[in-house]
Amino acid sequence: MFKSIRVGTARSPITVLAVFAGSTGLPRGVELSATLKDALGAARKTPGFNGDAGETLVAGDAGVLLGLGDRESFTADTLRAAAGSLRAQLDRMDANAARLIIAEVIPAKTLDDETAGRAVGEGMGLSNWRVDFFDGTASNTPPARGRLTLTASKPAFKRGLGAGLDLADSVNEARRIAATPPNICNPAWMAKEARRLAKNAGLTCRVITYAEAQRQGMGGIVNVGRGSSSKPCLIVLEHKPARPRRGVRLALVGKTMTYDSGGYSLKISGGMKGMKYDGNGGCAVLGAMLAIAKRKVPIHVTALLPAAENMVAGDAYRPDDIITMYNGVSVEVTNTDAEGRLILGDALAYACKKIKPTAIIDVATLTGGVVVALGSWSAGMFCNDDKLRGRIEAAANVTGERVWRLPLWDDHREFMRSKHADIWNSGPKRDGHPIQGAAFLSFFVDEDVPWAHLDIAGVSKVDADTPTFVPGPTGFGVRLLTEVAESLT
């Protein structure tokens, strides 16, 4: 791991040459010294090196071959993952600078130079992260190396490279917060951290405290978090450019459960482990706001992070309670472990009333059912507007953060009706559980507001190493939401 990776100039960099699988020799038109050309050419003919995606091979003292895989199936995702493998190879070589000959090899009809550069920057930046910020005196983690400087010949590729690295920095901030243990990361810490990051990024931040939430009638946030010694709050972040595009107000809402024990519907021990990641939706929204501010996206964006900790206590909410939400909807609590939708409901209703958004996207690790349905390959998307759905799907194609649309029909809303209150927070059966969550949330969004709900429970963390991620949070949603925001300009 490097302390940082940046674009710049450097003396005597290692030369990285990308090659497609099945090709022989070296690409034409690439300027190389005679010594380096001979070394790379000889390495290309090494038995066993095929140029498969992410495959690397050291060539002489100052060269590396990077495989891009099959030319026909090559995508930005392929390049992003290959760049993660390259970062690991440069780390093993103790490199401090690298010259990237990548754009010169990729056909323009496949990826333009800037898109290719961005994919490389994202892959290298995302892979250059690990959870070592709580290591103690007995740690055996090797120290991070110094700075890695990247250079390239094509201006558009360099521009994309820098943008990709910057975006990865925002994702990694989201991952850092998500990985912070719950004895540190509680609602109060989250609010403090949001204020600090907002100040540095040029965002405005205000916090609706527990007492104020009580006064405003935010029954979801208040009841879910009241059993914790760290009381809940609603964090509001705003990106207000000097000249925003008129008529566009985007609201981003992220579930920020800093820990979820299940409450009185207590999780079993195996189900409770890892519940520090139940705030990954809020972390993704916070990371997206940092990226949006850094990229100076010219639209008005407001983020709402309802932060709470779901605990067991004498004052905690219970099954059979009936609570009244911010918009006046009454909810019968059938399961205190279906808490995320309660805090999101208040935040969505608040957004509709106070912000008057032209679009709302909420992001949440809402249900285990979406993991059963879609695994770790895609987030579940529910959307009431085809235009917004198209924007999100297009952004997913660009970023590689996949979404898959699931149904939300009137039948699903009717299923959420309670005999004792307007609705219940969870039905008596787990049938279509991700849909139940989305149907519940729909009661807190004005009908004329384009809205999308992203259930990221299956994609918000990984359990094994990948070319771009170590086990832990992925920051899923930061790149996707940033791309959606940019599409609205």
Catalytic residue ranges: 267, 341
CA distances (Å), origin 146, targets 257, 434, 469, 470: 35, 45, 20, 20
Give bridge partners of residue 150 from the DSSP assignment.
Answer: 7, 98
**189 vs 180: CA distance, rounded Å:** 10
DSSP 291-327: HHHHTT-SSEEEEEEEEEEE---TTS--TT-EEE-TT
Task: State the maximum Cα–Cα separation within the chain, in Å, rounded to a whole number.
Answer: 81
Residue 146 parent element (H or E): strand 145-151
Sign of the CA dihedral with 203 first, then 209, 214, and 216 last: negative
The region, left, alpha or beta by phi > 0 then psi within -120 to 50, assigned to residue 410 is alpha
109-137 as b/e: b if 16+ CB within 10 A: eebebbbbbbbbbbbbbbbbbebeeeeee
**395 vs 456: CA distance, rounded Å:** 16
Q: Are 254 and 177 in contact (CB under 8 A)?
A: no
Beta strand residue intervals within 165-264, DSSP E? 204-208, 233-239, 249-254, 256-260
* Residue count (the chain): 489
Q: How many C-beta atoms lie closer than 10 Å to residue 285's C-beta?
A: 29
Q: Are 71 and 53 in contact (CB under 8 A)?
A: no
State whether residue 112 is helix, strand or coil.
Answer: coil
Q: Which of 71, 56, 8, 63 is nearest to 40 (CA)?
A: 63
Position 174, amino acid: A
- Within a 13 Å sphere around the CA of 395, how many CA atoms are in the beta-carbon half? 21
Tokens of residue 385, six digits: 């507007």
CA distances (Å), origin 247, targets 295, 361, 362: 20, 17, 20
